[in-house]
Amino acid sequence: MMQVLLRRCVDSARCLPSAFVLIVLGPMGTATVQAQNQTQKDKDQELAVLRREVESLRKAVAELTLETKKLQAAVAKMQQKLEKKPSPQELEKVLQAYEVLLKLLKEPAKKAQVYQDIGRVQVRRNRFKEAEAAFRQAVTIQKQQVSDFPKVAEHLRNLARSLHELGRLCITTGRLEEADQMLGQALSHRQKLLELDRPDRVDILRELAENYHDLADMLRQVGRPKESADANRRAQEFQKKWEELRKRSDR
């Protein structure tokens, strides 16, 4: 009972002058209040330090985000140069920028896009082994994205692009059977996208036309002329649909 009363007195005495506490509670009570006050002060100091650290971290993240955006803008300008005939030195600079960007980016979809871009640059440098490694990195990430977010059609479209790039690379390196598999998977994904009636339908039609064109080329090389002709016919059909839809959307 005495302990309960003492605890209540201590709780009530926290806001009282120390002289008054000494008179009412005696030396033992004063020591208890002082210890509790010190504990509260320590907690307040720890909380203040934590808040400063959180604020510092927030600023660091903001600065990092800004630097990432600046780098992305710089890379975009470099990509415009790639539309022409860049020098080996320019291609090397682009690759270096991509490598830095990969370390800064956290979103899997964006990292996959960078791997895809790296693959394209490596193809232009005739570094086919490095290009394939980059494309396969993109495919691995994008397959996981499709699995985790099956309702996000953009992930499926990005996966189809990477598979198409791999298929083209396999044609270039003479692995036609593997090219057949990659191009077939890309076509399957794009057909699914076409059924969704997406706003980017015009772009999907163009990609399907290119996909069938590359498939026709591969089938011709392996001595399957009838299948090659069928694929070429399909390429022309999608090309025509793409041109018609593009004209309507431009009006």
User: DSSP string spanning 96-137?
Assistant: HHHHHHHHH---HHHHHHHHHHHHHHHHHTT-HHHHHHHHHH
Q: Which residues contact 231 (CB under 8 A, 6 or more apart)?
A: 212, 213, 215, 216, 219
Angle between helices 176-195 and 201-221 (to 10 degrees): 160
Q: How far apart are CA 72 and CA 68, in angstroms?
A: 6
CA-angle at 196, arms to 190 and 199, nearest 5°: 90
Determine the Cα–Cα distance for residues 64 and 56; give it in Å rounded to an integer.
12
| Banded model confidence at residue 246, pLDDT cuts 50, 70, 90 | confident
Residue 162 near residue 112, CB atoms below 8 Å = yes
Task: Please report which confidence band the pLDDT of residue 42 belongs to, taking 50, 70 and 90 as the band edges.
Answer: confident
Tokens coding 213: 């064109």
Q: What is the DSSP string of 61-82?
A: HHHHHHHHHHHHHHHHHHHHHH
Determine the average pLDDT of the residues in 199-222. Answer: 93
Higher-pLDDT residue of 206 and 10 is 206
E strand map for 150-194: none
| Region of 132 on the Ramachandran plot (φ > 0 left; ψ -120 to 50 alpha; else beta) | alpha
Residue 208 near residue 168 (C-beta atoms within 8 A):
no
Q: Of 229, 233, 211, whose CA–CA distance to 220 is shortest?
A: 229
Measuring CA to CA, how many Å separate 37 from each of 30, 44, 50?
10, 10, 20
pLDDT band with cut points at 50, 70 and 90 for residue 5: very low
Mean of per-residue pLDDT scores for the chain: 81
Using alpha carbons, list the distances in angstroms from residue 98 to 10, 19, 86, 205, 229: 63, 69, 16, 29, 39
What is the model's pTM? 0.68
pLDDT value at 45 more than 70 = yes
What is the band of 132 on the pLDDT scale with cuts at 50, 70, 90? very high
